[in-house]
């Protein structure tokens, strides 16, 4: 019984003598064009001793130390990475670093005042992203597509680290490919570990009631840096309004869609005729 009480007391004391790190916020992928901000948040229980120090490490090198009792923040310049800015207080400590190529492990270590100088630490990796050199490229765009038929377009993003995620938009609305499950395909890594990606989209003009002779297609390539690196390419897919009734079944075949197609065809024909008439009337 005494043992149990001691253990419970021990656990309670161990739990209450030390600041605990509540969040280590380091970008997984750092944008090479900007400094990365690393943030460490910690909390103090009512019975904890005051904060003694907050240290940041890159690998095993200490790069920064904040000691609130001495009102001091120090950057160490030994590992080649210099801290360019910092902002620390009793609840959080943020440092800015210019990231180096490759992957580095960053550690935040928080210690409380004596007698125990108890320490809590957390680590995470940050990798310098390699941005694609070019905008994504849309290929396979036909000169025009007949209503009732489909177009297959392909978007390719240049090599990057990590591989870009691709998203398709038609008239600004995000799209899933109705034929192929809409995922970004990623190539194998090249010598530098970079990967290209591609994603297709089958476009059925029938699915978009509002097109004005064309559909605006956009492919967006996103790298999950902070903030995200986004590049895009936009093209117009011209839609021939007079459908070829003889080959309507390239569309998703079902009786209802065939019926819908016929209705839409009639509508378009009427609209086309109406549009043709207008200039005549004006003249």
Ligand X SMILES: *[C@@H]1O[C@H](CO)[C@@H](O)[C@H](O)[C@H]1NC(C)=O
Residues in the site for ligand X, rule: CB under 6 A? 75, 77, 82, 85, 87, 94, 103, 105, 125, 154, 156, 198, 200
Q: CB of 264: closest distance to ligand X in angstroms?
A: 27
Q: CB of 155: closest distance to ligand X in angstroms?
A: 8
Please state, in angstroms and rounded to a whole number, the distance separating the CA atoms of residues 63 and 83: 7
Q: CB of 227: closest distance to ligand X in angstroms?
A: 15
Q: Please answer whether residues 90 and 69 qualify as being in contact, where contact means their C-beta atoms are separated by less than 8 angstroms.
A: no
CA dihedral sign, ordered 48, 49, 53, 58: negative
Closer by beta carbon to ligand X, 179 or else 271:
179
CA 30 to chain CA centroid, Å, is 12
Closer by beta carbon to ligand X, 69 or else 103:
103
Closer by beta carbon to ligand X, 75 or else 235:
75
Q: State the DSSP H helix or E strand holding residue 274, giving kind and residue range, or none if neither.
A: helix 255-282
Closer by beta carbon to ligand X, 69 or else 125:
125
Q: CB of 249: closest distance to ligand X in angstroms?
A: 21
Q: CB of 158: closest distance to ligand X in angstroms?
A: 10
CA 274 to chain CA centroid, Å, is 46
Question: Which residue has the closest beta carbon to ligand X?
Answer: 156
Closer by beta carbon to ligand X, 90 or else 114:
90
Q: What torsion, rounded to 10 degrees, do the Cα atoms 276, 278, 281, 283 define?
A: -90
User: CB-based burial of residue 147 (10 Å sphere; 0-12 exposed, 13-18 middle, 19+ buried)?
Assistant: buried
Closer by beta carbon to ligand X, 102 or else 279:
102
Angle at 141 between CA 138 and CA 144, to 5 degrees: 150
170, two tokens: 């038609």
Q: CB of 56: closest distance to ligand X in angstroms?
A: 14
Q: CB of 28: closest distance to ligand X in angstroms?
A: 9
Closer by beta carbon to ligand X, 147 or else 153:
153
Terminal-residue alpha carbon distance, the chain: 104
Side-chain half-sphere of 61: how many Cα atoms within 13 Å?
Answer: 12
């Amino acid at each position: 019984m005494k043992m149990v009480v001691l253990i419970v007391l021990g656990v309670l004391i161990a739990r209450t003598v030390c600041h605990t790190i509540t969040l280590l916020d380091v970008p997984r992928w750092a944008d090479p064009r900007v400094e990365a901000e690393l943030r460490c948040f910690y909390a103090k229980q009512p019975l904890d001793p005051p904060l003694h120090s907050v240290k940041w490490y890159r690998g095993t090198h200490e790069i920064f130390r904040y000691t609130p009792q001495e009102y001091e923040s120090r950057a160490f310049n030994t590992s080649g990475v210099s801290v360019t800015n910092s902002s620390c207080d009793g609840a959080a400590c943020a440092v800015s670093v210019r990231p180096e190529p490759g992957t580095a492990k960053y550690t935040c270590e928080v210690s409380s005042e004596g007698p125990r100088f108890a320490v809590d630490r957390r680590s995470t990796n940050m990798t310098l992203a390699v941005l694609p050199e070019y905008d994504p490229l849309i290929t396979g765009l036909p000169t025009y597509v007949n209503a009732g038929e489909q177009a297959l377009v392909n978007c390719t993003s240049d090599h990057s680290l990590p591989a870009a995620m691709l998203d398709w938009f038609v008239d600004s609305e995000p799209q899933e490919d109705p034929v192929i499950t809409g995922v970004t395909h990623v190539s194998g890594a090249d010598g530098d570990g970079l990967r290209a990606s591609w994603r297709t989209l089958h476009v059925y003009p029938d699915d978009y009631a509002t097109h004005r002779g064309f559909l605006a297609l956009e492919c967006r390539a996103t790298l999950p840096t902070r903030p995200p690196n986004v590049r895009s390419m936009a093209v117009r897919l011209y839609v021939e309004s007079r459908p070829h009734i003889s080959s309507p079944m390239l569309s998703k075949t079902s009786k209802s869609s065939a019926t819908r197609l016929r209705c839409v065809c009639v509508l378009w024909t009427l609209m086309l005729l109406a549009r043709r008439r207008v200039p005549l009337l004006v003249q």
